[in-house]
Structure formats: C-alpha cells, structure tokens
Structure 1
Amino acid sequence: MSVTFQGAQVYLPGEIVETNVTVDAGRIVEIGGPAQGEVIDATGRILAPALIDVHGDAFERQLMPRPKVFFPIEAAVIDTDRQLAANGIATAYHAITLSWEPGLRDVSRGREMMQALRDLAPRLTVENRVQLRWETFAFDALDTIAWALEGPLTPAIAFNDHTSMTMRAYDVAIQDRGFELSPDFSIASLDDDRMKARTGKNADRAGISEDAYIELLGKVWDRRAEVPDSIRAVAGMGRAAGAPMLSHDDTRAETRAWFRDIGAGVAEFPMVLEAAQAARDHGDPIIFGAPNAARGGSHIGSLGAGDMVEAGLCDVLASDYFYPAMLAAIARLDAEKRADRSRLWSLVSSGPARAMNLGDRGEIAVGQRADLVLIDWPDGHAPAVLGTWVAGRAAYRGVPAGAGA
C-alpha cells in the first residue's frame, strides 16, 4: 500500500522544499503529488534520506559492557539493531575488528558476530552490513575474510595497522608516524616500561596481562616482512568481490597512494592534512568520525572534522564509536554554519552511499529505495528522530509525550 508523507520539509538533492513524498513497494514513487494511501502528517517536521553509517563499532559495548564481561551475542545484536533504527540509521556497516588479539577482537569472535547478523537478519529492523576491519598483521583472518566476502553481508574492507602504530618510536606522535610499510619506519623497544603504558588498555580488552600482551605483540611484529604480500592478497579478494576498500588512519600521501594502487579507494579517518589533501587530489572519498565533529575536535589531537567539512575535505561522517553522534554532528556543524544543511546532510546520506557504491539509496528521488527518516528539529534545540523507514518499512516510530498537547 502507498504511504504519503505530507507537508514535510523535504531534503532533496541540493535543496530543501515543503512537499509530499509518496512511497510504494519499498521505493519512492512520487515527489510533490497528491496524498495517496496511508497519510503521515509530517507538517513542521523534516523528511530526509535515512542515515548510512560506514564505520561503527559501538556494538562492542553491547558485546562486552565491562572489561572481560561478555553478553549473549543474540541479545547484543538485537539491541544494537534497535539503537541504529532509533538513531535514524537505515544502513550500517559494523566495523568488526579481525585482530591477532585474543578476547573482544579475536578473529573467531568476529566471525561469530557476522554469523549472528546473518542468522538474525529476518528479525532485525535495519540493513546490517559489515566492515571487515582487518588488522594487517592478523594473517589467520584471511579464511574468515574469504568466507565473509562470499556471504550475504556484502562487506567493505578496511586496512588497519594498529600494530605498527603501537610499535612506533616513543618520541613520535601517532599523527607524525611514517608510512608503516617503509623500511625507515622508526620502532620502539618492547623492553621499555613505556610500552606497558601504551598497551595497557589493549591488554585489558584482550583479557590478558600486560606482560603477556607485550610478549604476543613481539611475536606478531616478527611477521612484519610478510605484511605487504598479505595486504595484497586481501586486496585481491576484495577486488574480485567488488567490495569497497578503505585505508585507515593515514598519515602520509605515500600511504594513501600505496593503498589506492591496490584498490582501496577510500580514505578513512586521515590524521593529517597531507593525507586528506592527497585523497582529495585523486578524488578519493574521505571519511571522518561524527564524534569528532559533534565534540568540536578529535579526542586524540588529529584533524578536526568540522574544519575538514568547511574546507571541502570531508565527504562522509561515520558514527565511529557512538551512534547518536551522526545526528549530533550535523546539528553542531549547522549551528557553526560550516555548510548549508543540504551539504551537511549529504555527509550522512548520499556521501556514504557513493563511498560504498550503494546507488539505490542516500537521496530522496523517484526510484530510490525508500530509506527515510522523520526528524523533529525545533530552532535552537537538538534534532530528534521520530521515525525511520527502511525500504518503506517502518523500522522505528517514536511518539513524544507532548505530541497530543
């Protein structure tokens, strides 16, 4: 049956107009015509393309709410899905880390999470996809990557190297480190007490002692010479599957160029201007974290997402570690007049769609999938999601207490 959203401020590509939008059979079938079928009164509200989250790992808090305390995976997945819907996110790429670490980010646990997403799909409300957030020293993840690429979750692949980041020299800031695969990469000593300070949180997450973590890190670091070939192998699998591929936390133009050459055409969270500009110069989509924009800056001293939006060096804002940050980021950037609302909304809709090659969503246009979000956004106040529709199906509806007043 047709459904018409009547009288909303509709975020169309490049403009905002008050009009009607009609959907039928999961698609947008008319813009501006008379009401048909069920009518949803959207007067005074915003109707926008639903959010697309290309990188979110907040689900880890549902899996492990406290260090070393794991929750039943089905309950965690269902709760995560409902959080996504309530935050207006219709398509989510869960950044599932496949690491050499035991514990939360172990390869087997990542596979278990993906299997749960597959098994629970009929009970979930939004489209739950996967970003294979592969730690490039985790060679035992390749079988799981191949399995995931052959399955229904249509993954993206993100090349992460937190191992080299951890092993950088002590006098080198994260943002100042060189290209990780360079022979000139400066290396820290594992025997230095500063390594315990650097890896303590990781050890806690992995559920092992600091000494055991550092010992394991040393063994993994011994694989370094084999890492480039392993990366090329995974990139080859990604290209064969048509998977979007991303490099993560780039600090050099050289890094971006190396990954672009193997097919990773998206820059995720570049840490310095050189890397962001290198991406822009070659037309690579650039992703920044929405929490960065919502808070007014990076919590680790990297580039400010708001500044990058204003400079035209950001195409996508991802939830990163907090789903509500996407809408909060748009609100803050709007208040700061970083760009007009059409441009800002594209950072969570059409921008992510283009970066992930999702041609059927991300805009309110005839023929597009009816992924929509209804927003209450009073002047001077935070926006709130009133409803989320995925392919025309209501994934979330919220009725405020004062709605009948």
Structure 2
Amino acid sequence: MSAELIEGARVVLEDRVETASVRIEAGRITGIDVARDGAAVVPGRGRVLAPAFVDVHGDAFERQIMPRPGVTVPVETAMLETDRQLAANGIGTAYHALTLSWEPGLRSVETGWQVVHALAALRPRLTADNRIQLRWETFCAEAEPLIAQVLAEADRPALAFNDHTSAMLLHPDVALHDRPFDQVPDYPVTPFDAPRFLKKMADQSRRAGISAEAYAALIARVWERRAEVPRQIERLAALARRHGAPMLSHDDSQVETRAHYRALGARVAEFPMHERVFHAARAAGDAIVLGAPNAMRGGSHLGSPGAAEMIARGLCDILASDYFYPAMLGAVARLSADRVAPLPVLWRLVSANPARAMGLADRGRIAPGLRADLVLLDWPEGHAPAPLRTWIAGRGGYSALPAIPAPHLEPAP
C-alpha cells in the first residue's frame, strides 16, 4: 500500500484544531507535518480532516433488509449497501445493532443468523469495519446459540441487554421513562384486552408480518417465561465476560436497573430514559450513549432527555447513529454551530470515546501509530458538512473529491 500525505487540511486533534499534513502508510498514521518523502499528495487545503466515526449502535441497516413493511431483499445485498453508506458517511467502525427477539420477521433470531452469515461471507469485500452489537431481547432464550457463537468469534462483538417486552406490557398509567426495574415482582402490566394495548400490538405486528391478534397472543405466551429471564441474563453476561466483550444496557429508567447491569459487567448506559440514571451512571464512571439524531434534530422524538443539554452538562460521552447514519456528522455540525462545546471535544463523542468504550485502542484519534481511519470533509462556513473522502485502515473507503479543489472555501472552525 503506497504512502499518502493529506496536505494542508484543518486537522481535528484530541485537544485542538490546527492546519497540518497527515501521512499514512500500510494502514497506519505515520506522521504529522512530516516530509512528503515520495508519498502521493491528497490536497486538503480548505478542508477538515478528522478521525472516522466509531458507531456503537446503528440499526439503519434494517431499512436495507426491509425497505417497506413486509418487503424484504436478500441480506447480502442489504449489507453491501449498508457498508457503502457507512463509508460515504465517514463511519469507519460500525456496530450493527442486531435485534434478537422472540418476534418473527425482521428482528427474529432467524434473520439474525442471516445477518451473521452474510457478514462472515462478505468480510473480504467490505470497506468499513462491520461488527455486531448483539441487541438481545432478554425474553428471547432461543437467541443463546447465536450469541454464544458470535461472542466466540475473532471480531469481538458487543452485547446489549434490552427488555422491550416489559416496556410493551407496561400499564398505561405509568410513563415509559418512569417504568420500574424490569425484574420487580409487582411490575405493573397492562390489561391484555385493553383497546390501547391492542392498538399497540397492531402497530408492532406490521414489522413482524403477523396479525395483531397473533402478536398479542404471542407476547402473552412470552410473558409467561418471565421467571426464567434473570437466570438467562446472568448466564449470557458471564459468557460475555469470559470473552471480554463490552456490554451495554438499553433504555434504563431506574437507578436500580443501571446498578443491576453494571454489577453484571455492563459499563455502558445506552439511551438512559431519566435524568436520575444519567447521574448514577456518571457517579459510577459508566459511559453514557445518546442518539446522534437527538442531537442533530435538537431533541428526542421519544421525549427522552435532550442530547445537547446532556453534553453541555457533562452527562453524555458517546453519540451513536441510532437509526440514521448521516446523523453522526450532522450532530457534530449542529452542536458546533450552537457552540455547545469546541469541535475537538465534540469529535471525541463520535470517535475516541466510543472506541475506548468498545476496547478499541487503535482508532478514534489522529496520532502516529494508530489506524488510518480518517474522513476528509468539505465544510463551508455556515453550511452543512459533507464527506469528500474516507480512509479505513488506510484503504480508500469512499471518494467524492472534485477534479479541481476549491481552496477559497473556508472550513468551519
């Protein structure tokens, strides 16, 4: 692999932004402001060069598998297209939030196996570092063989504990962000024949490809497994610990919930639903993840705490793409324009911090010796930024560089 020198860009370093040149060779960053020494020159003047994004939770790939409700496409085709979207949006490392649920269809264990097998077969053809977040619905015992196999593979996945079953069955008198710890004995359950519950089942059933009545009957049967769930969680958490896999808990609404999963080794709080959980996670030193679409749009579509406010208060460490890959760059742009924090601080939310939380010490920053995971941006003052080129382990992952550079465009600060 020949050396390249990205010359004269505004480079986002850990603690500052400065005009510099970055040399890459054999998949690594080999120097900052060093001699060309025969390297091919990539013009960077008027551009911004930053670490490629590390995305700890993205499920937009589901829309490639099922672009319309009930309409599916071959999984390999879907994952190839997803990989290209990742590179085009500056995402160098992506943890696909692969929901493993008891419901049939898109989020079933069967579809999960298809994605796992597709990624394994496609690995030599993929551009980004495609990894898996095992987004496990804790009532889904049948997912255990898949989880065990993926945890044992070389590309270490992450394991996320989800309990959307209890959330869907929550009594309507209790707000979702106030729902009690999932394992309390007297959990407030909705009447299964209530009109509001039946409407919710109709909404959920479309993704599963079954009738609302069949979905309601299915979740009622699944709820009967509740006594077995704590042991399943403990067993799979122990397996993840043995493999050294990072663990996350999803949508925590109570301090008790966060404490329970922390004790099992889950040191990442993903999308906390109440301020008390943010404070408990921060006090314990847990990493806190929020959605980049939340930050980009200026608030959560679910009424959860606003990402910008939490970042300003020091209560958010990581922004994930969630359901929209362009949101990682869009969030940084919005937060920078709103002066929530300096650009180097904001960029840590989408690169260095998620890399650290996932145990990836070789990426997320621009420094000699690290992987050359980079994104070169066109970012005119007052306008939305756009990736012009990405490098993933030094390989050209995406390029939209114009034939003639535009040095008159000044990058955003």
Identify the TM-score tier after normalising by the shorter chain.
Answer: over 0.9
Partner deviation per Cα, 1:199-239 (whole Å, 9 max, x = no partner): 22211000000010000000000011111110001101100
Equivalent of 1:154, from 143, 156, 178? 156
Cα distance in 2, alignment partners of residues 144 and 29 from structure 1: 39
Cα distance in 2, alignment partners of residues 73 and 120 from structure 1: 11
Partner in structure 1 of residue 380 of structure 2: 378
Kept after mapping to 2: 8 A contact 1:20/1:34? no
Q: Which has the higher mean CA deviation after the structures are superposed, 84-93 or 19-28?
A: 19-28
Following TM superposition, the consecutive aligned residue runs of length 4 or more in structure 1 with deviations greater than 4 angstroms are 400-405
| Unaligned 5+ runs, structure 2 | 408-413
Partner in structure 1 of residue 11 of structure 2: 10
Partner deviation per Cα, 1:143-171 (whole Å, 9 max, x = no partner): 11001111243210000000000011111
Cα distance in 2, alignment partners of residues 404 and 243 from structure 1: 44
Partner in structure 2 of residue 42 of structure 1: 44
Counterpart residue identity of residue 382, structure 1: A
C-alpha change, 1:342 and 1:228, in structure 2 (3 Å) is same
Partner in structure 2 of residue 204 of structure 1: 206
Cα distance in 2, alignment partners of residues 139 and 383 from structure 1: 44
Partner deviation per Cα, 1:181-214 (whole Å, 9 max, x = no partner): 1113211111111112222221100000001000
Q: Aligned pair count?
A: 405
Counterpart residue identity of residue 29, structure 1: T
Counterpart residue identity of residue 323, structure 1: Y
Cα distance in 2, alignment partners of residues 401 and 40 from structure 1: 12
Kept after mapping to 1: 8 A contact 2:287/2:317? yes
Kept after mapping to 2: 8 A contact 1:13/1:364? yes
C-alpha change, 1:401 and 1:164, in structure 2 (3 Å) is farther
Cα distance in 2, alignment partners of residues 135 and 250 from structure 1: 14
Partner in structure 2 of residue 91 of structure 1: 93
SS at match of 1:133: strand
Partner deviation per Cα, 1:363-387 (whole Å, 9 max, x = no partner): 0011111100001111100000001
Offset at 1:404? 7.0
Cα distance in 2, alignment partners of residues 172 and 301 from structure 1: 15
Kept after mapping to 2: 8 A contact 1:6/1:35? no
SS at match of 1:172: coil
TM-score norm. by structure 2 comes to 0.96
Cα distance in 1, alignment partners of residues 36 and 311 from structure 2: 37
Partner in structure 1 of residue 399 of structure 2: 397
Kept after mapping to 2: 8 A contact 1:99/1:107? yes
Kept after mapping to 2: 8 A contact 1:269/1:287? yes
RMSD: 1.2
Q: Which has the higher mean CA deviation after the structures are superposed, 130-139 or 20-29?
A: 20-29
Partner in structure 2 of residue 70 of structure 1: 72
Cα distance in 2, alignment partners of residues 166 and 151 from structure 1: 33
Cα distance in 2, alignment partners of residues 84 and 221 from structure 1: 37
State how 1:5-404 maps to structure 2 within 5 Å.
5-36=6-37, 37-400=39-402, 403=405
Identical columns (%): 55
Counterpart residue identity of residue 33, structure 1: V
SS at match of 1:302: coil
Cα distance in 2, alignment partners of residues 392 and 201 from structure 1: 44
Kept after mapping to 2: 8 A contact 1:5/1:41? yes
| Unaligned 5+ runs, structure 1 | none
C-alpha change, 1:401 and 1:193, in structure 2 (3 Å) is farther
Offset at 1:402? 7.3
C-alpha change, 1:100 and 1:3, in structure 2 (3 Å) is same
SS at match of 2:396: strand
